[in-house]
Amino acid sequence: MIETQEWRHERERMVKEQIVARGVEDQRVVDAMMRVPRHFFVDKIYAHQAYNDYPLSVGHGQTISQPYMVAVMTELLELKPGDAVLEIGTGSGYQTAILALLCKMVYTIERLSALKESARDKLDRLGFKNIAFMTGDGSLGWPQYAPYDGIIVTAGAPEVPNALIDQLAEKGRLVIPVGSELYQTLNLVTKQRGRIFRKEIFECTFVPLLGKQGWKE
């Protein structure tokens, strides 16, 4: 059984204390965070920590992001039900599930096929039908389905990849951590009448984006 009363209580506490109390206001994002069973996306040995206020290991040296970070990055995208979103760094698939509840289609890329397969299996079991998966270098985007109304990068890049700017729709929003391999600043990049605007949100720490327009492997 995926869901129990106890997990639901844990999730309510997480949403109230870590998400709403810290200023996330978009009710659709709050509702999505309330619906997705985060404990299902982590290894069984970490399940009892799934609703705590920090990232957790998902194996292969990678992490599932802190719940608050997932909520803020999602809120910054300002997603509408008809939107198409590109996600770079599928990881556990947890952020993918939140996005899939809020838009029409999610295109998600993960460079490690073992993580992609595990995420795909979990998202299939939860019944999601609006997610396309790819194993590969997400720093190059996924040109086939561009342009995207939203692009979210859940790994830290040295710079905003040009490929992602090119694949962002007019009025689109791109959320990406930019900085060194250890520390970054969350950036919001928007495109209006072909012009690019960039705003820094706050400091953060993500695993590196490895690839042609990321850090060298």
User: Candidates 4-12, 18-26, 109-117, 175-183 — which segment interacts with ligand SAM by CB under 6 A?
Assistant: 109-117
Helix axes 27-35, 5-14, angle to 10 degrees: 150
Contact between 108 and ligand SAM per CB under 6 A: no
Contact between 187 and ligand SAM per CB under 6 A: no
Contact between 210 and ligand SAM per CB under 6 A: yes
Contact between 14 and ligand SAM per CB under 6 A: no
CB neighbours (10 Å) of residue 79?
26
CB of 150 to ligand SAM, least distance (A): 14
Q: What is the Cα–Cα distance from 108 to 136, expressed in whole angstroms?
A: 10
Contact between 115 and ligand SAM per CB under 6 A: yes
* 65 catalytic residue (yes or no): yes
Contact between 73 and ligand SAM per CB under 6 A: no
> Which residue's CB is nearer to ligand SAM, number 171 or number 212?
212
x/- map, 137-156, ligand SAM, by CB under 6 A: xxx--------------xx-
Among 7, 40, 68, 94, binds ligand SAM (CB under 6 A): 94
Q: With contact defined as beta carbons under 8 Å apart, do 201 and 187 qualify?
A: yes
Structure-token pair, residue 127: 């019944």
Contact between 75 and ligand SAM per CB under 6 A: no
Long-range Cβ contacts of 30-37 (<8 Å, 24+ apart): 30/71, 31/101, 32/74, 32/98, 32/101, 32/102, 33/67, 33/70, 33/71, 33/98, 35/101, 36/94, 36/97, 36/98, 36/101, 37/2, 37/3, 37/7, 37/11, 37/126
CB of 114 to ligand SAM, least distance (A): 10
Name the residues annotated as catalytic. 65
Residues of this chain that bind ligand SAM (CB under 6 A): 58, 62-65, 88-89, 91-92, 94-95, 109-112, 115, 137-139, 154-155, 206-207, 209-211, 214
